Structure 1
Amino acid sequence: MSENENLSRGLKNRHVQLLAIGGAIGTGLFLGAGRSIHLAGPSILFAYTITGAICFLIMRALGELLLSNLNYHSFVDFVHDYLGNTAAFITGWTYWFCWISLAMADLTASGLYIQYWFPSIPQWVPSFIFLLILLAMNLTAVKLFGEMEFWFALIKIVAILLLIIIGIFMIVKGFSTNAGVSSFSNLWNHGGWFPNGASGFILSFQMVVFAFTGIELVGLTAGETENPAQVIPKAINNIPIRIIIFYIGALIVIMSIYPWNSINPAKSPFVQVFAAVGIAAAASIINFVVLTSAASACNSGIFSTSRMVYSLAKEDNAPKSMEKLTSHKVPSNALIFSAAVILISVILSYIMPEGVFVLITSVSTFCFIFIWAIIVVCHLKYRKANPELAAKSKFKMPFYPIANYVILAFIAFVLVVLALNKETRVALFVTPVWFIMLWVIYSKVSVPSFSKDTAKLHKIE
């Protein structure tokens, strides 16, 4: 494929930096933090720290792989090189399914958030309008996708920073709430760091890992970044700082103002903190933030699934029509296809029982974990197959190969945790059906072999 037929490199440094932040901050922090705190108590801080460290290492592996060959536009490209075409087919369509299901959930949720202000409007109306707007923006130019994500992420960042600033002020002043005096000592004065024992701490990893799903999206944007060799390392290396500030920092402040056992698991702790200082519109403010977060997730879903289908088409693992680019170098057919599937999913969600909807998102979580494992395995293969190229890399994954095996052990641990939870246990048995189905499709449909000549390494000197 010639240069003028490639995807646009329209994402600037600020777009990718905010994408990296947005990918590490989900609606789970705003709405789900109360439930995770209730389950694990202050030990939730350790769960986020451990999972954040693992995700950072995964991202370092992804970054090293992407920068080893500037022709790679997504991880499906290097999965093909190191694990073969069958693995590339299964991985690509699995990642597509991951984001389709997340986009489905967030698009449906956006309708519910709008109903908070306008209860008489049917839920499907705002969901449908959001999808049309996001599709139109994505079809125009990749730069507009970057701009949307920039502002969506900025809203989340401002909300968290406000919480931290207001919270620190309340703690320093010894602000009194209905739960007592705000103090850092609230972290350990109510049953210690592990008030619910090891079981509560271990089970909390289910929600913590789900909060980090999608963090690898910053790697998928590599193919449309103006200067990936500089932008991607910077975005990945700043991930630990963001986790410390936006997750650890926010949770420390919340549990210092409200002891963990005083936080209502059914409410957003952000609402409780803002309401405590007399902000009457606290619930509406958080509802707006969560609405933009849901729109952001759906936007990312449309972007990532279309690029995945485009990459699959280039490798003859999807219809060749999905390779078509607009004059703005945007994969229009792949975008429309993914958006249409997301729309069908939203319509079906009204017909399906609630349990099936939960099952789909649970399967999605398992699939994301599978993607993380594939990235780590590919990195092991890359290092063994290309020692000279790896030696020249300026962005090596630290602690190789020990880090790779630690990550894989952590993923195995998370699978055990998910198996222990009755809500996600069923998905553990259903997920193999997805992989078997993909394998059958790949085996039955004649898929031409992708030529190695089209993926020659462009070494970074």
Structure 2
Amino acid sequence: MAEQKQELKRDLKNRHVQLIAIGGTIGTGLFLGSGKAIQLAGPSIIFAYLIVGIAIFFVMRALGELLLSNAGYQSFTDFANDYIGPWAGYVTGWTYWFCWIMTAMADIIAVGVYIRYWFDIPQWVPALICLIILLGLNLLTVKLFGELEFWFALIKVITILALIIIGFVMLVIGFESDSGAVTVNNLWKHGGLFPNGISGFLFSFQMVVFAFVGVELVGVSAAETSNPKKNIPSAINKIPLRILFFYVGALFIILTINPWEQLNASKSPFVQVFSLVGIPVAAGIINFVVLTSAASACNSGLFSTSRILYNLSRHEQGPATFAKLSKNHVPSNALWISAVVLSVGALLSKLIPQQAFSIVTTISAICFIWVWSIILISHIRYMKSRPDLHNKSIFKAPLTPFINYVVLAFFAIILVIMYFSEVTRMALLLTPVWFILLFILYGVHRKNNVHALNYEQRAK
């Protein structure tokens, strides 16, 4: 009876889920990573975001149908267990925890760097303070997580909206800046749409993929939304419009205001564009926005990693202590361990500041590709083994199963591209170590379960 009461509380409302979906698609990858991606691809970066965005939308539609096919599903690890096998749930669950930890490590270090813009203090101090505050708020109620993401996402939306409106006005009036006239011609008159050739375009895909990590957080939050049958389809179906507006729209404006080759890869293009407008406090304003973006990503990381640990433990794929909920119906033990690992990661990231960001983002992107692929494979198996559920689904994924295979092939191509890039090759070759370790641990876990089962049968 006590076990039945140990349930996650459904305290996320529709506005929370909608803003979590927006927050999941706007983060460090766009505000900071887009500068590096633009330097690689030039104006063709717009096509890269479109292509990856379309692929992610089909992943999300598959995720939505699977989650709504069974009221007991609380995450993709649940249907991975059912449709692929326990090993898939085990490996995917721990991989999702790992890649969010990696992503949040970069973000918590970034918080320290951004705070130093105003205060000359060691960067680990504000990073640790931010982590403690986020942990404390997440330990209280899930509703607080929703409120935090609501306001964090709202700041991001207002910033991008302001950028697009200001940029559009500059475009219409033919604003003259130090870089020349603001004109659509800037998209192609500086070396064409593909100034660095197809190779530059392809090499940008790693950072573009990283820009989309977290979009599946809609699925992780499904267990705690008050009306999943209404809120999940609504959030997923709005993803294409968000991609067009927040990514393509923002990048289009940035590239018409500033010729692509004048943008510094190590700085946020948003800072440079607002500075161009002549706002004296532009750098400070954008620094605040990027700070909230990093804090938001770390907040999402704490939320998702704790829920994954909770889910793994409920399926006896992790320590039982992580399956315990506090009186506020949050997995407090799982939150604590994720925060501790994050704090250690912040220290490690500080020790290798030059290489940390590219290594962490590449490993994160690879692990997310694994997670997204498992969702697509689960959907293929679901359609074959449970056609009855698919036929009566109120949220059928379009063009399936054909599109699932197309997107899987696309993900495989991205991994091959990473091998040929010097920046991403090392991380690509290191990542399999994580999966080898997980398969070994799964073998031990399964063997222990068999021994425990045999012991219980003998005892009877």
SS at match of 1:280: coil
Counterpart in the other structure of 1:454: none
Question: What is the letter of the counterpart of residue 435 of structure 1?
Answer: F
Match status 1:304 vs 2:304: yes
Counterpart in the other structure of 1:74: 75
SS at match of 1:234: helix
Counterpart in the other structure of 2:259: 259
Indicate if the aligned counterparts of 2:103 and 2:360 stay in contact, CA closer than 8 A: no
Taking the aligned partners of 2:230 and 2:321, their CA distance within structure 1 comes to 33
TM-superposed CA distance for 1:345, in Å, is: 1.6
- Could you report, residue by residue, the CA deviation over 1:302-335 in whole angstroms, capped at 9, with x for unpaired residues? 1000000000001101111111111221111111
Indicate if the aligned counterparts of 2:24 and 2:215 stay in contact, CA closer than 8 A: yes
SS at match of 2:139: helix
Match status 1:272 vs 2:272: yes
TM-superposed CA distance for 1:262, in Å, is: 2.8
Counterpart in the other structure of 1:149: 149
Match status 1:319 vs 2:319: yes
TM-superposed CA distance for 1:31, in Å, is: 2.0
Counterpart in the other structure of 1:455: none
Indicate if the aligned counterparts of 1:30 and 1:286 stay in contact, CA closer than 8 A: no
Counterpart in the other structure of 1:179: 179
* Aligned counterparts, 1:40-119, within 5 A: 40-119=41-120
TM-superposed CA distance for 1:268, in Å, is: 2.1
TM-superposed CA distance for 1:187, in Å, is: 1.6
Taking the aligned partners of 2:176 and 2:356, their CA distance within structure 1 comes to 44
Q: 1:41 to 1:360 in 2, by over 3 A?
A: closer
Taking the aligned partners of 1:11 and 1:357, their CA distance within structure 2 comes to 32
Counterpart in the other structure of 1:238: 238
Counterpart in the other structure of 2:228: 228
TM-superposed CA distance for 1:168, in Å, is: 0.5
Taking the aligned partners of 1:108 and 1:260, their CA distance within structure 2 comes to 28
Question: What is the letter of the counterpart of residue 58 of structure 1?
Answer: V
Higher mean alpha-carbon deviation, 64-73 vs 339-348, is at 339-348
The TM-score, its normalising length taken from structure 1, stands at 0.94
Taking the aligned partners of 1:288 and 1:356, their CA distance within structure 2 comes to 22
* Aligned counterparts, 1:322-333, within 5 A: 322-333=322-333
- Could you report, residue by residue, the CA deviation over 1:55-99 in whole angstroms, capped at 9, with x for unpaired residues? 000000111100001111111111110111112111111100011
Indicate if the aligned counterparts of 2:49 and 2:208 stay in contact, CA closer than 8 A: yes
TM-superposed CA distance for 1:231, in Å, is: 0.2
Structure 2: which 5+ runs fail to align? 451-460
Counterpart in the other structure of 1:15: 16
Taking the aligned partners of 2:270 and 2:45, their CA distance within structure 1 comes to 16
* Aligned counterparts, 1:434-453, within 5 A: 434-446=434-446
Counterpart in the other structure of 1:210: 210
Question: What is the letter of the counterpart of residue 104 of structure 1?
Answer: M
Structure 1: which 5+ runs fail to align? 451-461
Question: What is the letter of the counterpart of residue 31 of structure 1?
Answer: L
* Aligned counterparts, 1:300-449, within 5 A: 300-351=300-351, 354-355=354-355, 358-446=358-446
Counterpart in the other structure of 1:458: none
Higher mean alpha-carbon deviation, 434-443 vs 10-19, is at 434-443
- Could you report, residue by residue, the CA deviation over 1:403-435 in whole angstroms, capped at 9, with x for unpaired residues? 101110110111011111112111222111111
Question: What is the letter of the counterpart of residue 25 of structure 1?
Answer: I
Indicate if the aligned counterparts of 1:317 and 1:447 stay in contact, CA closer than 8 A: no
Q: Percent identity?
A: 58
Provide the aligned length of Structure 1 versus Structure 2: 449
Counterpart in the other structure of 1:453: none
Indicate if the aligned counterparts of 2:28 and 2:107 stay in contact, CA closer than 8 A: no
Counterpart in the other structure of 2:455: none
Indicate if the aligned counterparts of 1:47 and 1:205 stay in contact, CA closer than 8 A: yes
Indicate if the aligned counterparts of 1:22 and 1:153 stay in contact, CA closer than 8 A: yes
TM-superposed CA distance for 1:355, in Å, is: 3.9
Counterpart in the other structure of 2:458: none
SS at match of 1:117: coil
Higher mean alpha-carbon deviation, 250-259 vs 184-193, is at 184-193
TM-superposed CA distance for 1:362, in Å, is: 2.5
Taking the aligned partners of 1:31 and 1:356, their CA distance within structure 2 comes to 14
Counterpart in the other structure of 1:459: none
TM-superposed CA distance for 1:270, in Å, is: 1.4
Question: What is the letter of the counterpart of residue 63 of structure 1?
Answer: G
Indicate if the aligned counterparts of 1:85 and 1:449 stay in contact, CA closer than 8 A: no
Indicate if the aligned counterparts of 2:128 and 2:343 stay in contact, CA closer than 8 A: yes
SS at match of 1:393: coil
Higher mean alpha-carbon deviation, 38-47 vs 54-63, is at 38-47
TM-superposed CA distance for 1:188, in Å, is: 2.3
- Could you report, residue by residue, the CA deviation over 1:108-156 in whole angstroms, capped at 9, with x for unpaired residues? 110011011112x111111111111101100000000000000011111
Taking the aligned partners of 2:273 and 2:296, their CA distance within structure 1 comes to 24
TM-superposed CA distance for 1:249, in Å, is: 0.5
Question: What is the letter of the counterpart of residue 176 of structure 2?
Answer: S
Counterpart in the other structure of 1:139: 139
Indicate if the aligned counterparts of 1:309 and 1:318 stay in contact, CA closer than 8 A: yes
Indicate if the aligned counterparts of 2:210 and 2:361 stay in contact, CA closer than 8 A: no
TM-superposed CA distance for 1:393, in Å, is: 0.4
Indicate if the aligned counterparts of 2:206 and 2:365 stay in contact, CA closer than 8 A: no
Counterpart in the other structure of 2:40: 39
Indicate if the aligned counterparts of 2:210 and 2:362 stay in contact, CA closer than 8 A: no
Indicate if the aligned counterparts of 1:100 and 1:342 stay in contact, CA closer than 8 A: yes
Taking the aligned partners of 1:128 and 1:171, their CA distance within structure 2 comes to 43
The TM-score, its normalising length taken from structure 2, stands at 0.94
TM-superposed CA distance for 1:354, in Å, is: 4.8
